[in-house]
Structure 1
């Protein structure tokens, strides 16, 4: 009789599991469409998520979240959690690349050619001529008091270079800065 009793989860255990599933559901609801498409979801759950995203009334949204939780209780959520962790890792990598590119852009704007040489040492595949032209133009614009519109252009030029370096460094374990 105690064996049967041990197999039945307590009410607290069931509530903890329901809370965990709800947290996973909330993460899924917060994903972009592109990220959502990458997850291994059954059609019924995918449709329930799409409906929840369209709802604006709090009560209806709460009921839809509960329905999503009920659908998730029927699934093996461990595979879904692994996929979510993988997506979160990708997001962290994207943020790291973005911030590194911002730091390089700011440094290139402030320091000019010395920073540009450091950038070329860190990223030898960068388009030297284009980046030199942009840095010179940005510094000339700053001297004449023009709007910093070329900052965005510089960022668009260096971000893919930094991203390529980041991906390459994932294998070696080092990071450009």
Structure 2
């Protein structure tokens, strides 16, 4: 049986040499999903993601669209723009913004360990001072005393959490605080 020379997806043996239409569709839907995640970011968060100016503008435009069908079509347009982007760095930035990246998790664990060491031993304050010269050491010392007092009196750990927030800001990874149920009850 002879194959048509117009069919460029197959070789002489009839074997398929490219991705199937279904596979291409899955890849395009995945790009569109990444684009949808971009549209859910704030302006500040979007500025931290490495995307082209054209894609950034298309993502910003999405917030001005109100009709459902127009939103669907615009998401498809964003998906098409995503084809020209380097997607792995975008996905890594999105994961970091969501706090799901390994690096972000390791950083948060390191900060939690530093906080625990600081609560146990005030001399860790000099380590924090050397690592972060602009740190408000007096405020940290006060928060440490308050955290120890809160633990002893079995009160909500407001100062304990505030120490973590300060350490996170000093470390340069200040994200919007995500109030847990406990924090909401405390206030």
TMscore range, shorter length: 0.5 to 0.7
Q: For 1:40, what is the secondary structure of its paired residue?
A: coil
Conservation of the 8 A alpha-carbon contact between 1:138 and 1:150: yes
Q: CA deviation at 1:115?
A: 4.2
- Say what the alpha-carbon RMSD is for the aligned residues: 4.0
- Provide the C-alpha distance between the structure 2 equivalents of 1:13 and 1:141, rounded to a whole number of angstroms: 57
Conservation of the 8 A alpha-carbon contact between 1:101 and 1:158: yes
Is 1:138 equivalent to 2:147 in the alignment?
yes
Instruction: Please list every run of 5 or more consecutive structure 1 residues that lacks an aligned counterpart in the other structure.
Output: 165-177
Conservation of the 8 A alpha-carbon contact between 1:22 and 1:69: yes
- Which residue pairs with 1:84 in the alignment? 90
- Provide the C-alpha distance between the structure 2 equivalents of 1:58 and 1:13, rounded to a whole number of angstroms: 27
Is 1:151 equivalent to 2:160 in the alignment?
yes
- Which residue pairs with 1:16 in the alignment? 26
Q: TM-score, normalised by structure 1?
A: 0.58
Q: Hey, which of these two has a bigger chunk of helix by percent?
A: 1
One of 35, 51, 54 as aligned partner of 1:40: 51
Instruction: Please list every run of 5 or more consecutive structure 2 residues that lacks an aligned counterpart in the other structure.
Output: 11-16, 173-187
Conservation of the 8 A alpha-carbon contact between 1:25 and 1:65: yes
- Provide the C-alpha distance between the structure 1 equivalents of 2:59 and 2:114, rounded to a whole number of angstroms: 39
RCO comparison, higher one (Cα < 8 Å, 6+) = 1
Q: TM-score, normalised by structure 2?
A: 0.55
Conservation of the 8 A alpha-carbon contact between 1:35 and 1:87: no
